[in-house]
């Protein structure tokens, strides 16, 4: 496995490897990322993983400085998972003139849900992913459905910009008890982790109601809110899977999306509803 830090070196190694699938990450890898790497291997002969904690997607209240950076362990996991190349640039390499620069805006998709609570977050995500796409020039790129809004926005960005890159969605990977895997789970104490299970329980209960025929978004939201009654909630919403706009009656694929706080950790999760 090749590890590169400079853009020039990354470009030349990617050219040498040929068609690639890219797994963009911020490190602190877990089984969810390993699943992304596996999926990437099904889509291309070679797999590149980027590990970069992107400052432009963190807001002033976010956890940029305390975001975990276990690089040695991450590289080991990439190696064992069969990645061919890891791109691990510095902030100065990616943003030599500071973090300003180009701003991507897909307002309809990015101002709702997370966008209301983390203004500018998706502009930062689009900025870094666009840069990574231009450096690595992958044939495909894999993103988890756990960050459903991010996946939807990046898919739209690629369509809008006519990039010849296939965006490959990967179903959310969960622990046996239902908790969606996230690098942020490591901030949870054992007791907080137990409380966090209310999120997936609520979502699964609502999905069962949907499977049982319930189509009123209000009822599904009430079920999730009920399960989360002990947690401060940022939002529980039923949105159209393509437009991310709120729906009242589910007639097309939809997503129940949740953001809630467990102690000082903010967690997001979702389930996708398809009849």
Residues identified as active-site: 33
Structural contact between residues 86 and 79, judged by C-beta atoms closer than 8 angstroms: no
User: In whole angstroms, how far apart are CA 271 and each of 62, 197, 210, 223, 241?
Assistant: 25, 14, 11, 13, 10
User: In whole angstroms, how far apart are CA 35 and each of 46, 110, 171, 211, 234?
Assistant: 15, 26, 9, 27, 28
36, 112, 123, 128: which one binds ligand PAF (CB under 6 A): 128
14, 26, 142, 259: which one binds ligand PAF (CB under 6 A): 26
Tokens of 52: 């970069």
Contact status: 185 vs ligand PAF (CB under 6 A)? no
34, 129, 267, 271: which one binds ligand PAF (CB under 6 A): 129
Residues 31-70 close enough to bind ligand PAF by CB under 6 A? 54, 57
Q: Closest CB to ligand PAF among 250 and 257? A: 257
Q: Closest CB to ligand PAF among 89 and 202? A: 89
Residues 215-254 close enough to bind ligand PAF by CB under 6 A? none
Contact status: 199 vs ligand PAF (CB under 6 A)? no
Helical packing angle, 190-211 and 217-227, nearest 10° = 160
User: Which has the closest alpha carbon to 267: 221, 220, 198, 218?
Assistant: 198
Size of the site for ligand PAF (CB under 6 A): 10
Contact status: 13 vs ligand PAF (CB under 6 A)? no
Contact status: 126 vs ligand PAF (CB under 6 A)? no
Q: What letter would DSSP give residue 223?
A: H
Q: Closest CB to ligand PAF among 125 and 165? A: 125
Contact status: 24 vs ligand PAF (CB under 6 A)? yes
Q: Closest CB to ligand PAF among 29 and 206? A: 29
The C-alpha atoms of residue 275 and residue 266 are separated, in whole angstroms, by 30
User: In whole angstroms, how far apart are CA 33 and each of 5, 172, 178?
Assistant: 20, 10, 17
Q: Closest CB to ligand PAF among 54 and 265? A: 54
Tokens of 12: 């030349």
For residue 83, the SS3 value is: coil
Q: Which among 19-27, 35-43, 106-114, 184-192 is the span making contact with ligand PAF, rule CB under 6 A?
A: 19-27
Residues in the site for ligand PAF, rule: CB under 6 A? 24-26, 54, 57, 125, 128-129, 147, 150
């Amino acid at each position: 496995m090749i590890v590169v830090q400079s853009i020039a070196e990354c470009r030349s190694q990617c050219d040498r490897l040929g068609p690639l699938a890219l797994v963009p990450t911020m490190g602190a890898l877990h089984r969810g990322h390993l699943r992304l790497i596996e999926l990437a291997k099904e889509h291309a002969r070679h797999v590149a993983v980027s590990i970069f904690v992107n400052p432009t997607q963190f807001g002033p209240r976010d956890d940029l400085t305390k975001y975990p950076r276990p690089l040695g362990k991450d590289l080991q996991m990439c190696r064992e998972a069969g990645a061919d190349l890891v791109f691990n640039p510095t902030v100065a390499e990616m943003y030599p003139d500071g973090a300003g620069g180009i701003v991507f805006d897909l307002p309809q998709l990015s101002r709702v849900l997370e966008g209301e609570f983390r203004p500018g977050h998706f502009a930062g995500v689009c900025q870094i992913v666009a840069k990574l796409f231009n450096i690595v020039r992958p044939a495909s790129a894999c993103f988890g459905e756990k960050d459903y809004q991010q996946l939807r926005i990046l898919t739209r960005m690629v369509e809008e910009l006519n990039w010849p890159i296939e965006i490959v969605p990967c179903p959310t990977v969960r622990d046996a008890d239902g908790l969606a895997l996230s690098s942020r789970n490591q901030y949870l104490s054992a007791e907080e982790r137990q409380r966090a299970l209310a999120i997936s329980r609520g979502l699964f209960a609502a999905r069962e109601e949907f499977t049982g025929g319930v189509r009123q978004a209000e009822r599904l939201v009430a079920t999730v809110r009920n399960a989360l009654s002990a947690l401060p909630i940022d939002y529980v919403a039923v949105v159209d899977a393509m437009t991310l706009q709120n729906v009242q009656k589910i007639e097309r694929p939809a997503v129940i999306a949740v953001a809630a706080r467990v102690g000082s950790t903010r967690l997001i999760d979702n389930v996708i509803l398809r009849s």
